Amino acid sequence: MTEQIVIRPVLREDFPQWKILWDGYNEFYGRVGQTALSPEITHMTWSRFFDPYEPMHALVAESSDKLLGLTHFLYHRSTIQIAPSCYLQDLFTTKEARGKGIGRALINAVYEHARIAGVPRVYWQTHETNTTAMNLYDKIAEKCGFIVYRKLLL
């Protein structure tokens, strides 16, 4: 990939390209068919990126007017520190962009966003089968050993 990659905040006019990435991300995690996210969830997620009262943010990787990746992250309070924490919730690149440093660039951009905001900790989770991504994560962060549990109530 010889074109320059730009990491920037998502813009309203990015919706069509962002939606393609968002759909690819959800497909990667098996949210298709009966388990697909409703259009209402997608539109609410999108609207949150532009609401100044929301703690949710979105960055995209762009090259030659094409979006190649996305990351979504949010700030929240913590019981173990005074400053907020940053949860990197979503990270995705197109198949063609994988292995080109775009995932790393998106994560580094989240790190920088958090640093500027005075947030001392960025964390995320991934599926245990996502070994390709974990190869990158092991180089740029520490594995903290926690296991995620959840219970759907509705």
- Alpha helices, H only, the chain: 15-28, 39-48, 102-116, 131-140
Residue 33 pLDDT exceeds 90: no
The answer to whether position 18 is within a domain reads: yes
Return the higher-pLDDT residue of 32 and 124.
124
d(CA 128, CA 143): 12
The answer to whether position 1 is within a domain reads: no
The answer to whether position 84 is within a domain reads: yes
Question: Which of 114, 115, 44, 126 is closest to 75 using CA atoms?
Answer: 114
The answer to whether position 89 is within a domain reads: yes
Q: In terms of pTM, does the model score above 0.85?
A: yes
* Predicted confidence band of residue 35 (pLDDT cuts 50, 70, 90): confident
Owning domain of residue 20: 6-140
The answer to whether position 147 is within a domain reads: no
The answer to whether position 37 is within a domain reads: yes
Burial of 31 (0-12, 13-18, 19+ CB in 10 A): middle
Give the domain CATH number at 51: 3.40.630.30
The answer to whether position 148 is within a domain reads: no
The DSSP output letter for 67 is E
pLDDT digits (tens, 9 = 90+) for 45-89: 999 999 999 999 999 999 999 999 999 999 999 999 999 999 999
Q: How many domains does the chain have?
A: 1
The answer to whether position 152 is within a domain reads: no
